[in-house]
Amino acid sequence: MGFFSRNKKEEKTCCCGNCGSVEEMVKAQELSSSLGIKVLGSGCSKCNALEHSTREALEELGMPTDIEHVTDFVKIAAYGVMTTPALVVDGQVVSYGKVLSKDEAKTLIQKVRG
């Protein structure tokens, strides 16, 4: 039976054939796209307030103030977040369910980016 063959070759998807499996490349792409700051929420006043506090914190830290606002509930659920607003720093959920002050956001960002 060929269904359970152990001698399966993995396909290489890059031009040189040395980059690894498709799964490894997908994981690397997901990691690179998860870097940065994200606010998760529907776009309500609390979500906007969290984005504002986070932007102020980033300015004080001298970091780029680019913040992605994720409103798609499927993507939000993929982070394991069920209560918004939430703050994600470099792929790590650091807060959910409350609006952070500028100082709280600053502390959490420093903790992740140490």
pLDDT in tens, 58-91: 999 999 999 999 999 999 999 999 999 999 999 9
Instruction: Examine the residue annotation and report whether 47 is marked as an active-site residue of this protein.
Output: yes
Tell the CATH superfamily of the 36-113 domain: Glutaredoxin (3.40.30.10)
Question: Domain ranges in the chain?
Answer: 36-113
| pLDDT confidence of residue 35 | 85
Tell which residue, 100, 72, 98, has the closest CA to residue 85: 98
| pLDDT confidence of residue 19 | 54
Number of neighbouring beta carbons within 10 Å of residue 54: 26
- Measured CA to CA in angstroms, residue 19 lies from 13, 27, 31, 69, 91 at distances of 8, 12, 16, 32, 23
pTM of the model: 0.72
Q: Which of 14, 16, 19, 47 is catalytic?
A: 47
| pLDDT confidence of residue 111 | 96
pLDDT in tens, 14-66: 444 455 667 665 554 554 457 899 999 999 999 999 999 999 999 999 999 99
Instruction: Examine the residue annotation and report whether 44 is marked as an active-site residue of this protein.
Output: yes
| pLDDT confidence of residue 34 | 73
Q: Which of 14, 16, 19, 44 is catalytic?
A: 44
- Measured CA to CA in angstroms, residue 84 lies from 15, 77, 98 at distances of 42, 10, 7
**Backbone phi, psi, residue 8, to 5°:** -80, 135
